[in-house]
Structure 1
Amino acid sequence: MSKDTDPKRRHSILALSLVGLVAGMVGLSFASVPLYRVFCQVTGYGGVPQRAEKAPGEVLDRTVTIRFDGNVDRSLPWTFAPKQQTMDVKIGETALAFFKATNNSSVPVSGRAIFNVSPELAGRYFTKIECFCFKQQTLAAGQTVDMPVTFFVDPKFVEDEDTKDISEITLSYTFYPSGEVNPPAAAAAPEGDGSKS
């Protein structure tokens, strides 16, 4: 019997191939989340806002209503909500909004916010300059802080056939726990640490 027709050898090659395929699929699944996140941040796809150092300088005589939404994962012992439900802003104008967060537990807790914009098409023009969502936030036991977000709607918003008729945009955040419930660094953090953006 030749090597090529040996059933044991064929089964071994098949088994190794399948193991390699499964390992590759698992690796790809872990890599897909960060790659997708980068893709969304660069393109605004999926309602992910853009980031910029400053507003473009051009302010149009047209307003858009921004709605704010705040949510908390049930495993994070916080309350979190916008301080204003809506805000009318001129397109191209720099605007500042605040969210209020409270740690309802008796220990310091760290959280991180994920965000999106709806309708999704508006995500490519909704641009943040500063935001509490850019980094992890740690609140001391019982601490309440105001969390600011500075943003603008790019004037190109009105030039795009898909977005020019949109009159309302919703900015939504959901806070999730990050790290341990009582990390050593958080326990030593000063009172105002969580309010920085």
Structure 2
Amino acid sequence: MAVGAVVLAGLGVGSYLLIGSRTDAAGAGPVAAIQTPVLSYDVPADWTQGGDPLTNPFGLDFTGVARGPEYSCGGRSFVRGIVASAVLPGTVALTSVPALTQGLAQALYTPPDGSRPDVTAGAARPIDVGGVQGTLVEATARTATDDGCLATAGTVLVLAVPTTGTDGKPAMAVLLVNGDDAGGPPEAPPSPSRAALDAIVASARPVTI
């Protein structure tokens, strides 16, 4: 995913709290716990938290951002994955999650020439999130052209969980989990495993306000 060349506009990254490091339940390695006002989740400990604002096509205010291993190519910076969360008003239906997932996947894998990637999004499926029933949608993106820098394929998972906003009103917490599947220059760091992406989703828990 290109940090400087994603064709999205205007999201500020809100503040988040890095709780600490530990080893995940599966023993796969150390993780860092991130807590936002409405959602907590674990990310690999070697991912970088914070950084530049995350831009997107929906104008969402993402927070709790973590980025995978970084590499440079063609004068641009890229990362092998990204995790971030946002809060949507309660008026946004869970049926909107597939469209959101598809849009984010298209944005993450659109190269500088603007050619639209081929995105396949699966059906929404229910998932238990700390005792709350959420919705999970998976999409796969494949770029139309290979510029030798941007990954040519990637996975995007979007988890949506009903919650209560900081204003006390019904809301929907959204967790974006992304990882490259293929492509990029030979010297680029390895892509995150699918198990690592699934572990991030499985760690998500709503925060009681």
TM-score range, shorter chain: under 0.3
* Structure with more of its chain in strand, by fraction: 2
Pick the structure with greater CA Rg: 1
After TM superposition, the score normalised by the length of structure 2 is: 0.26
Higher helix fraction: Structure 1 or Structure 2?
1
TM-score of the superposition, structure 1-length normalised? Answer: 0.27
